[in-house]
Structure 1
Amino acid sequence: MKIFYCCYGSAHSSVVAAAIHLGWLPEDRVPEVHEIENLPHYDKTDSFEIGTPFFMGKDEKGAEIYIIGMTDQRQLVKNAILSFLKNNEIETKDIFFVDTIPLVNLKTKVGGILSRRIGLVAVGRPLTVKGIQEKYFEFVKLVNEVKKSLGLLGSVKFK
């Protein structure tokens, strides 16, 4: 099984969701600033890397966890990936895409633009972290719903 956590640029919300999924971030409290900033790829993905899947690790059940930025073309990128795999006779029934964009608030969006697009990392990065912290338990809820629906937590299977 392969799970792709998807966001705009694979720099913020997808990274946090993948980190929660892999147990790198706590589920019972909001992580400290340094815990978020020290995640692999957090606020570090360059524009030319958007559309590139980054392998983050395997979870406790062996599912492969990836992050990918898809800008505002999430369906197009998803279709391209699935089409490529099918054309190369690679099974796609166990590939799942999870959109993390709905959890991104204005602080994270503005911070991401300042940091990644404009290069004002010292201003943008702390703003992204503050936005993530404000919505953190929604990220935890999303990840737990994904795990449950895919049979990685509990006994419900994804349909």
Structure 2
Amino acid sequence: MGRIIYYSYWGTYAAYTMAAIHAGIYKQDRLPQAEWIAAQYDLCRRYGGQYGNLIYVGLDSRFREIYSLGCRQHSGMVARALKHISKIFQIEEPLCFIDARPMEGKIPGLLQRCSFQWSRTAERLFEAWFSNKYWACLKQVQSAMQELEDGNNI
């Protein structure tokens, strides 16, 4: 089986979106319902600024665990640490890290750093970001899933 970790600077924006697509929470043929987008925005508000949180998202069709991780610019260090911790504790299941940083853009950073984070304007900005980035995230997830299907450890 194994564990798949989507990571980015902020673990609740592109990384979570891609992990949710991979786990089948978000469908591949349409945008999620408004309630699901609002729930992800709430997740971003609550946990977006916390780094190092490994967020369990679900299982994929092959029963691999899917996670989201925010690690700022320390992705290489975090990936190595998780791999070595697995070795130390003799966890034999492979870890696969998928980079979601290129999907993120500037809006998540703006939302996390601004004082209007709790306003309706911020929520609309998130909705616009989500609607704009969803299809690019979907394409990356489909590519990653194909690589995994082909036996490649991304």
Q: CA deviation at 1:133?
A: 1.2
- With over 3 angstroms needed to count, the CA separation of the structure-2 counterparts of 1:109 and 1:40, relative to structure 1, is closer
The 3-state SS of whatever aligns with 1:98 is strand
Q: 2:132 aligns with which of 129, 134, 149?
A: 134
Structure of greater relative contact order (alpha carbons < 8 Å, 6+ residues apart): 2
Gaps of at least 5 residues in structure 2 are: none
Identity %: 22
Cα deviation, 1:17-48, whole Å, max 9, x if unaligned, reads 1111122212222334432122497312153x
Q: CA deviation at 1:126?
A: 2.9
Contact preservation (8 Å) 1:9, 1:45: no
Aligned pairs for 1:42-121 (under 5 A) are: 42-43=43-44, 44-45=46-47, 47=49, 49-91=50-92, 94-114=94-114, 118=115, 120-121=117-118
Indicate the larger mover: 53-62 or 82-91.
82-91
Instruction: Give TM-score scaled by structure 2 length.
Output: 0.84
| Coordinate RMSD, CA, aligned | 2.2
Higher helix fraction: Structure 1 or Structure 2?
A: 2
Instruction: Give TM-score scaled by structure 1 length.
Output: 0.82
Gaps of at least 5 residues in structure 1 are: none
List structure 1 runs of 4+ shifted beyond 4 angstroms.
Answer: none
